[in-house]
Every structure is written in structure tokens, then in C-alpha cells.
Homo-oligomer: A and B are copies of this chain.
């Protein structure tokens, strides 16, 4: 009811405007494409971090391997997104440049936090300045830096939190239920990958298979990003079926 009144009054027609109850409606609308995006899961493990993402490819002419749902920001930091994919690309490319600049300037790898803050500052600006809309995308940014493994979720307004395990996209709520029940911080990276794939399989019912999943991890030992091959993914699916 109040929502309709706000719309009638035009409070949601410009990002640089508060509604009378102090809300930024355009920033709230920007969260909608996130809720319609394909699902992605991030998990912090005892020996590294894991991302498992649904590629949601329906067109058989698309080359599945080419669909990147997990992006490398630096050797030790990876990210995944839900929402408007071209918005995500802009943010990822900014993060990549930030990481390179840090490496060149200080000769040490950038901390995950610093990348997250930089991305979120850009997101915040787009909720405050005229002439730009907010970014319609949430990111999971994860990696291993000097302080160990870390996982962050950023929303379209530029707010971020550090999580043990988190999900974004259309099945966020169902997956988070599963994570709350099954997540343990004693999990290994292998356990984390299994948990992510099991969760996606469950919430997507029968519509999920090895060709539709993107899996990557960073281990604490070498702090190097690894992308699972199709074969490795298929092996995991086969093992899970046997159980």
C-alpha cells in the first residue's frame, strides 16, 4: 500500500532521492535482478575457500565451457555473481585492476578485504550520484590472503558482510537453509565442493548436471586459484550418485 503511494509520488524515479520513510527505492529495485539470477554458493573451509555456481545454460548451441560464472580477480581471489551479468563484468574488471595495482605498488598480493571495499565504494557511489543507476548485481568474493581464507557477500547498495558460507541468486533462501544445517568449519575444500554441489542438485531438482556447474577453489597451502575441469566435476557427480 505504502509502496504504491511512493510510486505514485515518484520517490522511486531517481536514485538521488529518499522516500518519506527514508528508503532508497531504486537501490531496492536493483536487488530484484539478483533474486532472479542463477544461484551461486561460497564456503569457507579449514584449508581454503570454495565457489560452486549454477551456469543455467538452456541453449544447447552455447559452449558450456565458455560460460564463466566464476571469475579470477587475482591468483588468490575469485568471485561469482548473481544479477545483471554485464554489470558484474564491470565490477570484476575493476577488481582485477585494483589487485594488479596493489601487486605492482606494494609487491605483495592484495588482501581480499581491500578488493571488496573498493568494489563496494563504486557500488555506493552509484546509489548516491545522479546520472548513474545502481549496479543490479550481488557478488560473492572469496580468497586466501595473509590472514587466511575469507568470503564476502556484497549487495547492490555497496553493503558487505563476511560469511562462513553464503548463497546468492534465485535459490538463495533454500540453499542458506541447507548451509545452516550442514556447514561445519572443520570441512575440507573437498567437503565444501561436495556440499555446494549437493545443495544445488537439491534445489534445482533433476535439472542439474556436470555440464551446468562451475566450481573453483583456493587452498591455503599455495594460495592459487584452481578451476575444476569438466572431468573432475563429472567424477564428483558420479561419486555423489553412488552415495
Contact = CB atoms under 8 A, between A and B. Distances in A.
Interface of A: 3, 7, 9-26, 29-36, 59-63, 66-67, 84-87, 89-90, 93, 117, 120-121, 123-124, 126-136, 157-159, 161-166, 176, 179-180, 183
A87 B132 contact: no
A133 B17 contact: yes
A173 to B, nearest CB: 12
A129 B132 contact: yes
A62 to B, nearest CB: 5
Contacts of A127: 86
A123 B86 contact: yes
Chain copies in the assembled complex: 7
A22 B16 contact: no
Contacts of A3: 20
A196 to B, nearest CB: 14
Given A22-B30, A121-B90, A159-B86, A16 B61 contact: no
A18 B183 contact: no
Contacts of A123: 86
Given A7-B20, A128-B132, A130-B130, A164 B63 contact: yes
Contacts of A34: 22
B26 A17 contact: yes
Contacts of A87: 124, 128
A40 to B, nearest CB: 15
